[in-house]
Homo-oligomer: A and B are copies of this chain.
Amino acid sequence: METLTPKKREMLERESRILEVARPMVVREGYHGLNMDRIADEVQYSKGTIYNHFSCKEEIIIALAIQTASKRTELFQRAAQFKSCARFRMMAIGEAAEKFVRDYPDYFQFEQILQLASVREKTSEKRQAVIRGSEMQCISMVAGVVRDAIAAEDLELPDGFSPEKLVFGLWSLTSGAYAIIFNSDSLEPLGLDDPFQTVRQHTEALLDGFNWTPHSNAYDSDKVLQKIRKEVFNNE
């Protein structure tokens, strides 16, 4: 840490100050609210200096996403180490995913903006690779749990159905659900009181559908959940 030249230190510090200032702009006013002149004003540097750090608006957004993405990896890592059977570890990962979107709802917004091709196109290949890598890390961890289940003979996937395909389904279900939850106007009419619980129920149903044992009717989901929240996440 202390091996950095003072100049480099200043650069890094300024970089995070820029992001600090940019974050609430995007969060509160969305993509259009991110304004380079305003950033320059608020961090008390000229616009040119901001552009020395980030070559365009979009780079700032992806940098914000990267900041938060590491938090997800951490949460997944903790979940994957839960000492229990594969199925419960999978539940722990589900809990990590839920905790992530609840604790860092900003990330969701950044990701949504970055999903627009016209935005993503402008970001550097380098930062794109960081995001992809962080996502791949999470996917691998989930696939690892699936493999453990297979090894333990708790699960037998259909012919040609790779663990990654199962991860794809879980990923689709949860990310799709979170997308709906965060654009709430489509939710109220459905009368979903606790949408996160519904996601959990669907995840369990999906695993049951693949005959992953123990089947959800063989244990008390609430109990397991309490245990996970306490032991893995220290109750928040």
Given contacts A198-B165, A198-B169, contact A30 B116 (CB under 8 A): yes
Residues in B with CB closer than 8 Å to A118 are 29-33
Select A173's contact among B132, B165, B172, beta carbons within 8 Å: B172
- How far is A204 from B29 in the complex, measured between Cα atoms in Å? 40
Pairwise interchain contact A186-B115, C-beta atoms closer than 8 A = no
Q: How far is the CB of A33 from chain B (nearest CB, A)?
A: 7
Pairwise interchain contact B169-A205, C-beta atoms closer than 8 A = yes
Select A206's contact among B29, B190, B192, B202, beta carbons within 8 Å: B202
- A151 at interface by CB-CB < 8 Å: no
Pairwise interchain contact A175-B168, C-beta atoms closer than 8 A = no
Pairwise interchain contact B186-A177, C-beta atoms closer than 8 A = no
Provide the A157-194 mask, 1 if CB < 8 A to any CB of B, else 0: 01001101101110111111101100101100111100
Interface size on A, residues (CB 8 A): 55
Residues in B with CB closer than 8 Å to A206 are 173, 202, 205-206, 209
- A208 at interface by CB-CB < 8 Å: yes
Pairwise interchain contact B189-A179, C-beta atoms closer than 8 A = no
Provide the A106-117 mask, 1 if CB < 8 A to any CB of B, else 0: 000100110111
Seen from chain A, the residues whose Cβ lies within 8 Å of a Cβ on chain B are 29-33, 109, 112-113, 115-119, 121, 128, 132, 135-136, 139, 158, 161-162, 164-165, 167-169, 171-177, 179-180, 183, 185-186, 189-192, 195, 198-199, 201-202, 204-210
| 7 residue pairs from A and B, CB less than 8 Å apart | A33-B118, A109-B117, A168-B180, A168-B190, A179-B179, A206-B206, A207-B209
